[in-house]
């Protein structure tokens, strides 16, 4: 249930935000509320298309990235049931990555390109699906780090109990 909840929220927000941009900003144009005009050099909404990968890399690779998205979706759906119940970081990461992959896949299938609109500084323009994938990767890395940290702490506890004097050993 977590997989489809996280992915569903991600897809819904991504598709709604792209729809809003397409309806309210002309292609190549930009928008920022007047009250936030001071952010304009650093952040704004723009309407742009992308036929490549996240953040505008590998342009004109729509067919390749469409096929890759299907592979990613299939891999996540196959692997998710095999994830340990208590591995919430991996489950959350997979939900975010599934949502991002499907969000951009919808654009690729319906329009043969992805709508991008978030512009921050000199960073390439991106969308919520790209952000979902990136946050999913960050959560995955955090989960791996937490798991390694936990295993190191357990190993240290075992080692310290094995090297303790005979009278001080547990159990």
Instruction: Please answer whether residues 6 and 124 qualify as being in contact, where contact means their C-beta atoms are separated by less than 8 angstroms.
Output: no
User: 2 falls in which pLDDT band (50, 70, 90)?
Assistant: confident
Strands 43-50 and 114-120: antiparallel
Average pLDDT for residues 108-136, to the nearest whole number? 93
Can you say whether residue 56 is alpha, beta or left, with left for phi > 0 and alpha for psi between -120 and 50 degrees? left
User: pTM score, two decimals?
Assistant: 0.82
For the chain, give the mean pLDDT: 89
Residue 18: which of 167, 148, 132 has the closest Cα? 132
Which H or E run contains 90?
helix 88-111
User: 50 falls in which pLDDT band (50, 70, 90)?
Assistant: confident
- pLDDT at site 170: 56
Residues whose CB is less than 8 angstroms from the CB of residue 121 and which lie 6 or more positions away in sequence, other chains included: 42, 43
pLDDT at 162 over 80: no
Residues labelled catalytic: 116, 130
Q: Measure CA 47 to chain center.
A: 21
């Amino acid at each position: 249930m977590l997989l489809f909840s996280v992915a569903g929220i991600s897809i819904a927000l991504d598709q709604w935000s792209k729809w809003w941009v397409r309806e309210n900003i002309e292609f190549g144009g930009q928008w920022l509320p007047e009250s936030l005009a001071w952010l304009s050099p650093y952040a704004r909404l723009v309407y742009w298309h992308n036929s490549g990968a996240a953040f505008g890399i590998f342009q004109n690779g729509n067919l390749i990235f469409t096929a890759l998205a299907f592979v990613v979706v299939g891999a996540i759906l196959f692997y998710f049931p095999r994830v340990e119940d208590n591995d919430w970081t991996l489950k959350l990461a997979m939900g975010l990555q599934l949502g991002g992959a499907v969000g951009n896949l919808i654009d690729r299938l319906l329009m043969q390109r992805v709508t991008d609109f978030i512009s921050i500084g000199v960073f390439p323009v991106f969308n919520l699906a790209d952000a979902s994938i990136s946050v999913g990767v960050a959560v995955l890395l955090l989960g791996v780090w937490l798991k390694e940290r936990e295993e190191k702490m357990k190993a240290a506890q075992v080692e310290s109990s094995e090297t303790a004097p005979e009278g001080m050993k547990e159990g």
